[in-house]
Structure 1
Amino acid sequence: MTTLYWNPKRTRAFVVSIAKFVGKKRPDFSIEDRLDPALVSTLKKLGVPPGQITHVQDGDATAENLREKFSQCVRGSQPGEQLIFYFGSHGDYTANRDEFWFSAYDDLLPFAWAFETIEKEFKGSEVLLFPDCCYSGGMVEMLAQRPKKSIAFAALSSTHAHNIAWNGWSFVDCLIRSLTGDARMDVGRDGHIDWDDLCRFTERHMAFLADGKPIYATSNGFNPQMRLSDVSEPLKNAEIGQYVQVLWENEWYNAEILDTSGEKYKIRYVDSDSSSDEWVPGKKVRGVTFERFWSGAAVEIQSSADDEWYTGRVLESWESLHFCHYDDYGPEYDEWFGPSRIRRKTSK
């Protein structure tokens, strides 16, 4: 097993966030509520030396520049250091070759580029990978394919290897919460937040907020109990952090409970930022409801590629999600579906 504690002073961080892209090949993301600056600020406040943080955004994140800056970042490392790698952008998946790609500002970068650079130039001992893009789970799956090295890896993705992602900045928010001791992240309820807490919370959080299915893995002896932070303030009550549905104009919307006061709840809608937080009476709040399909069930599923409905069958279910196989397609297209993208198969 590797070290038990994350050590900010012995950490290097490579943070890439691309919300604007050259030409019209990739749609731009909203930058009004972007959280990568907050992630970088958090790392600095916690003690990561500013000179050991590389933050690349938008037009500066060309494929050539990213290769150069990442090489510079890890080349300056020292034995015993830890590396945090975050890459937020679009992602691509070439199914017939099982290849995964990050979208740089102007071109594509293979996921393998990050591994190859780390394995060749990083002198430290532990690496935490946070790919945040469509098909980001491919980076987690690649851990098992990498050659055995002295470097211990841990990887957590924002979604599954075969799924697109539409989570806004929610994944980054989970990272910030885990590093700052947010009690909602303390899944084990032991007063601190470790790697396993972060992964388990993020998995459920992203499933509810974005119909995503993060996956995670470790290799080469990385300690899943590595402590990231201690809880800064205990939860006032067990309802805080719970997922609910809120009635607004005769429709039910998914939300998270932020606070309580008597029979009122302060909530945040899953598709909104803090500007839409509000207090609502308990009579307008209910538990989350969704239809459950059992393994083997024949269903209709909405493709993330073209939004068309296809027939398929359920392979497994988890929380509100179902992992399904498309009829007449290979397993490389299997993906997770949220409640709005799966329905009973209609008889013809």
Structure 2
Amino acid sequence: MTMKVSGSALLLCLTLTLGACKRQYAVGDRVLVDWEGSVYPAKILEAVSPTKYKVNFEGYDAVWDEVVSRDRIRGIAEGNVVHPEPPPKVRAKALQAAQTNLYKVGDRVRVDFHGQMYTAVITAIVGQERYRIHYEGYGPEWDETVGLSRIQPK
């Protein structure tokens, strides 16, 4: 006995099959991850299981590394990604650090970017001697988090 399958039934079957397959991510992938209600770029450090990955949120210290489920990963991060404001728990820790940090929000500094110095403004304190900076004359996609080793007073 031969069974005929219509084109639309075949397309539906193929769509359902492919929809059930979720992308597998690999160590080193740069991904977008839901963290505290916003989406942040992160790097996969370890595949803990087929559905869980340990990530480091770009620009944040290892203390904020987290094992996340695949549903929190929104896809591959491509190009420069504009970072949302730090989550409330990071801001709270940064407030403590701000009491003793060398620089304050609004300070103008020079930042080493691949061997060249660029003028920047401290826009946030994200930890002990860790700063979110904005390069003057450049768009927000170039903002980044840096430590003291890359900063010189202006």
TM-score (norm 2): 0.45
Task: Name the structure, 1 or 2, with higher relative contact order (CA <8 Å, separation 6+).
Answer: 2
In proportion to residue count, which structure has more strand? 2
TM-score (norm 1): 0.23
